[in-house]
Amino acid sequence: MAGNPFYKDHWINIDRDRLDRYERMFLWSPASAALYEPADIRPGHIVADFGSGPGHTAIEIAKWVGRNGHVHALDINAEFVAQARKNANAASIGDRVTAHQCDGSILPLPDLSLDRLTTRTTSSMWMIPNARFASSTASFELVGKCMPSKVIGQ
């Protein structure tokens, strides 16, 4: 995908039909827990979910971190960010989820403010994965494991 900005345009400009499909596609499923359990997300953690879409995963993680934790739902699409806020409020945990519009070039969070950073497939869409990951890691100290759910060749 290097040199092709399609991935970015694809996620910034989403027509209503695709937004509705993504809303249904990104619903949390109990089977999804297996992707996140290795991250050892615990009560009190501060977590960022990068590429959060309409926020369903961020909402589930907010349940895991409890009242003393917090989740930052990060997405490039303004409508997803608005929907993530709406969905978090509807789930009565809007106080534990903050949705941010973010393209991945920098995280809108203070350095060393995260216990965990999660993402499902978003990292495979970064134009320069190592550079993006390196700039993203400025917001937290890597002390755990990086466990990709899917590895794509270089």
Place of tokens 């050892």: 40
Q: Where are the domains of the chain?
A: 6-27+44-139
Answer with the residue of higher pLDDT: 91 or 144.
91
At 26-40, the pLDDT tens digits run 888 888 888 888 888
The domain covering 6-27+44-139 belongs, at the CATH homologous superfamily level, to Vaccinia Virus protein VP39 (3.40.50.150)
Q: For 54-58, what is the mean pLDDT?
A: 94
Amino acid at 98: T
User: According to the model, what pLDDT value does residue 32 have?
Assistant: 84
At 107-143, the pLDDT tens digits run 788 877 888 888 875 544 444 344 344 444 444 444 4
Amino acid at 146: C
Residue 14 pLDDT grade (very low, low, confident, very high; cuts 50, 70, 90): confident
pTM, rounded to two decimals: 0.75
Q: What are phi and psi of 27, to 5 degrees?
A: -60, 145
User: According to the model, what pLDDT value does residue 54 have?
Assistant: 93
User: According to the model, what pLDDT value does residue 121 have?
Assistant: 59
User: According to the model, what pLDDT value does residue 133 have?
Assistant: 41
Amino acid at 30: P
Give the C-alpha separation, 86 to 94, whole Å.
8
What sign has the CA pseudo-torsion 110, 116, 120, 126?
positive
User: According to the model, what pLDDT value does residue 28 have?
Assistant: 86
